A and B are shown apart, each in its own frame.
Chain A
């Protein structure tokens, strides 16, 4: 069985995701992709950090396209608005890559998460996850499942139901006669 390729993106984050902690040694079903041709020196993992000449989002998308991971871990320990643009761009430019947010559960706001999921993230996990659960989640998302809490599905469904009630109540424009 081919391993599931995973890459990390982080824009303006104070702390790195401890991906190495998630991916156990000798674990064969998840492969962490890194780009070692970085200008950060040999043998240093190159993450999707920004360069000055292009926007951080364009830069990240270019690198994601090059690595073409099946699963992308988005370091969202700190809430960054650029991630919405990144996720939207990802949907069109790398449709086969599924994004999972890594969040700090003590800090993450529900509305921010909702916005990110509406932009295309396929789920979110806590930054203190153990490696066994990590590989289970990566496999599930890679197979097309979403990874969100029951509480968040309740909130999402509330948005959907409210929107369809608005639609059916006829709020909107009249069709031109």
Chain B
């Protein structure tokens, strides 16, 4: 995707110098909005269907990663690029883990800003090469943990009786107790009794968790 297309971009900084550089980089393209404080930024995020946010890490009202998580929760699909003075690796890493798509120095030249936007719009990450090793290490850790949980779930699911497994599968498909009872030709009370046993065996407390576990198990097989 190129910036020639219609892309809604929001520039959030209180620094005229930074805003001017960003605007030069994005000259001639897209509807561009700007915010000078965290409060007005959140308001615009709610109102507008923004795709890209260029965010000055020193924006008044912004409190480190927590604020960025709030922004992402307001609009999950937004691609945030953070501009800041040089940050330590661990801070930058936390920003990426929160979901930002790029970290750049706030004195970045306009042409380079344009490249960054194009890259993140294409699903790329704008990240320092020194951090990519950390990404791979984290991927290994996350994958290992995923396999461990899958194995633990499978072990626990093996403890279910055939009937319990049947009921768990139906819960996974979103069926109500009434529907399950009708389908299996048993009473609702029996379904509830089975569910109590299933919850105990799987160490969970409600059917939502059971449904999620069954969906995950179905996906991994």
Contacts and interface: CB of A to CB of B under 8 A. Distances in A.
Contacts of A15: none
A119 B97 CA distance: 20
Given A145-B132, A145-B133, A164-B97, A117 B139 contact: yes
Contact of B204 (A120, A148, A156, A174): A174
A154 B136 contact: no
Interface in A90-118: 114, 117-118
Given A156-B136, A174-B204, A151 B122 contact: yes
Contacts of B133: 122, 144-146
Contacts of B204: 173-174
A1 interface: no
B58 to A, nearest CB: 24
A118 B140 contact: yes
Interface residues of A, number: 31
Mostly helix, strand, loop or mixed at chain B's interface?
helix
Interface in B124-155: 124-127, 129-130, 132-133, 135-136, 138-140, 142-143, 145-146, 149, 152
A160 B138 contact: yes
Contacts of B126: 150
Contacts of B127: 150, 153, 157
A171 B212 contact: yes
B96 interface: yes
Among the interface residues A145, A153, A161, A174, which one has the most CB atoms of the partner chain B within 10 A? A153
B143 A155 contact: no
A171 B146 CA distance: 12
Contacts of B101: 154
B205 interface: yes
B203 interface: yes
B38 to A, nearest CB: 22
Interface string A14-41: 0000000000000000000000000000
16 contacts: A117-B136, A118-B139, A122-B136, A145-B130, A145-B132, A146-B133, A149-B124, A153-B127, A154-B123, A154-B125, A156-B139, A159-B139, A160-B97, A160-B135, A161-B97, A161-B98
